Amino acid sequence: MSDPNLTPNPSPNPDFPVSQEAQTPLETPAPSVFAAPIVAPEIAPQNLSAAAHISSSPPFIEPIAPEPIHAGSATNPLLAMLAGAVLACVLLGSGILIGRAGSPNNGVMTASPLGNGVSAQSGNAIVRAVAMVGPAVMNVDTTFGKPEASDFLPTPGQGQNAPRAGKGTGFVIDSKNGYMLTNAHVVAGAQKIQVTTRDGEQYTGIVTGFDRRTDIAVVQLSNRKLPQAKLATFKNAKELPIGDWAIAIGNPFAQENTVTVGVLSAVGRTLPVPESGRGEAFQLTDMMQTDAAINPGNSGGPLCNLNGEVIGINTAIIPFGQGLGFSIPINKAKFVADQIIKNGKVLHPYIGVAVVPITDAIKSDYGLPDKLGALVQGVEPNSPAAKSGLQQGDVIRKLNDQSMKSNSDVVKTIGDKKVGDVLKIEILRNNSVKKTLTLKVGDRPN
C-alpha cells in the first residue's frame, strides 16, 4: 500500500461507533501491513469490552476491520488486504520483497489465458471494451517521505532517509477538469504524483481530496484534455449480473497497461481493514468480487464490463488466495468523488453505538427469545444514539421497521443512510420490554 500512515495495530479502538462480529483470525502469518487481522473474541455479556470496533459508513463503507466475507456469518473469516500501490521495500522481519499492500511473491502470477469457453464474439468484445476504456487509464507513480523504521526496512541500496516510490493505477472521470479517480491508499500522503498515459505521455497530479473510510481519492491532472472513461450507471451493484465478464486494467507490479479478464463472481461482500495505529479500523462494504487477476499496483484501476463501462475500482485481494479480488462499485465511488470535489470532504452516517452479535451465551444470560438482532455494547456520550435514549444492554431488533438478523445488518443499514435521515429503532430492554426510539443520523466525528 502506498499510504505510509497505515501500519498494523490490532488493538480495538473504543471510539468506533459500531463493533464487528466475533470471529477467529487466520493462522497464516500476515504478509503485509494490511494482512494483520483485528478480531473480536467470542462475546459474553461479562466481557463485552473485548470486542473490536469498526464504524459504519456511507452507503458503501468506511474502510475496514475483519469480518467474514458474508456479513452475518461468524465462520470462515477473511483477512483482507488492499491490492495497493507497489512499494519497493522489505517487510520488516520477512526478508521478502513485496508491495506494501501486496502478498509475498514467490514468482510472477499470471492471469489464466482465455480457454475454449471464450467465443470469438466475446473475445472481440473484450478487445473493443479495452480499446474504449484504455486511453483513460493512467499509471500512477508516487513519491513519499522516508520510511518509518517501525514498519519497513530500507530498500536495499538506499539509505534510511531515502524517499520511497510507489505505483498504482487511476482513470480519468472528468476530462474538462482533469479529475482522475483512484484509491486513497495509492496517493494519500504522497509528496509527488506523476501519471503516465498508455502512450507514454507524463503529467503531474495534485490530490483534490481523499476519504480513507471509502478508500477513494480524486486527483486533478495538469492535462485537461485527456480521454475520460465511461461509467456504468446503476443504483446498486446487485443489479449487475453475476457471472458477467469483468475486465481489469492496471499497473500490477509495474507492468503497465496490463489487462486481465474474469467474471463478476459476487456482490455485497464485506472486507475488513485493520487498525493502523495512527488511524483506525474500518470495513469496506458492498464490495464486488471478481476472479480477474488483481495484484499490487492494480489499486485504483477500473473493472469494466463488455460495453467498455467502468463498473468498479480495483481495491483489495485476499492474501494467499487466487481469484479473490474486490472492487468498489462505481456508483459508490462516484458518490464519494462528487462530495470530495464539491465539499472537500465526505459525510459518514453515524449514530454512536457499538453493537455485538447475539451469541448463545448472550441469549441465555439475557433471557432472549432468539439470536436475532444486535446487543448494544456501548453508547457514545452526546451521540445521536445517546440522545435518543438508547442504552447499553438494549437489543436492536428493527431499524425503520426492517428486521435485523445480526449486528452486520445494523452496520449496513446505518451505513446506507444519509446524514440527517430519521431512524426509528425498535429495541428489547430488560429481556422483554419493547420500545421504539427515534433519532436523526449524524455525521461521524473526525
Distance CA 54, CA 42 (A): 16
| Domain coverage including residue 254 | 1-105+118-346
Q: Are residues 321 and 362 in the same domain?
A: no
Kindly state the DSSP code that residue 123 receives in the 8-state scheme. Answer: H
Mean pLDDT of the 279-307 span: 88
Domain contains 254: yes
Domain's final residue, options 346, 366, 386: 346
The residue among 77, 100, 105 whose CA lies nearest residue 88 is 100
Domain contains 10: yes
Q: Are residues 313 and 356 in the same domain?
A: no
Collapse the DSSP code of 404 into the 3-class scheme (helix H, G, I; strand E, B; otherwise coil) and give the result. Answer: coil
**pLDDT for residue 372 is more than 90:** yes
Q: Are residues 75 and 199 in the same domain?
A: yes
Q: How far apart are the first and last CA of the chain?
A: 23
pLDDT level of residue 161 (50, 70, 90 thresholds): low
Domain contains 112: no
Distance CA 315, CA 299 (A): 5
Q: Are residues 444 and 308 in the same domain?
A: no
Domain contains 113: no
Identified catalytic residue from 53, 185, 265, 286: 185
Range with top average pLDDT, 87-91, 121-125, 189-193 = 189-193
Look up 299 and say whether it is catalytic. Answer: yes
Mean pLDDT of the 294-313 span: 95
Give the strand pairing for 374-379 and 353-357.
antiparallel
Q: Are residues 423 and 338 in the same domain?
A: no
Looking at residue 270, its pLDDT comes to 84
List the grid coordinates of 228: 475520460
CATH number at residue 397: 2.30.42.10
Q: Are residues 327 and 388 in the same domain?
A: no
Look up 215 and say whether it is catalytic. Answer: yes
Q: Are residues 65 and 206 in the same domain?
A: yes
- Do 376 and 43 touch, CB atoms closer than 8 A? no
Collapse the DSSP code of 70 into the 3-class scheme (helix H, G, I; strand E, B; otherwise coil) and give the result. Answer: coil
Look up 3 and say whether it is catalytic. Answer: no
pLDDT level of residue 78 (50, 70, 90 thresholds): very low
Domain count along the chain = 2
Domain contains 281: yes
Q: Are residues 217 and 99 in the same domain?
A: yes
Task: Look at 108 and 126; give whichever has higher pLDDT.
Answer: 126
Identified catalytic residue from 299, 327, 406, 408: 299
Give residues with Cβ within 8 angstroms of 72, minimum separation 6: 21, 405, 406, 408, 409
The residue among 211, 190, 210, 193 whose CA lies nearest residue 202 is 193
Identified catalytic residue from 215, 286, 291, 416: 215
Burial of 369 (0-12, 13-18, 19+ CB in 10 A): exposed
DSSP 317-375: E-TT-SS-EEEEEHHHHHHHHHHHHHHSS---EE--EEEEE--HHHHHHHT-SSS-SEE
The residue among 316, 337, 336 whose CA lies nearest residue 273 is 316
Q: What is the pLDDT of residues 137-150, one digit of tens each?
A: 999 999 987 655 43
Domain contains 154: yes
List the grid coordinates of 274: 485493520
10-19, 196-205, 410-419, 432-441: least confident range = 10-19
CATH number at residue 8: 2.40.10.120
Question: What distance lies between CA 281 and its chain's CA centroid?
Answer: 11
Whether pTM exceeds 0.85: no
Average pLDDT, the chain: 73
Q: What is the pLDDT of residues 213-229, one digit of tens each?
A: 899 999 999 998 999 99
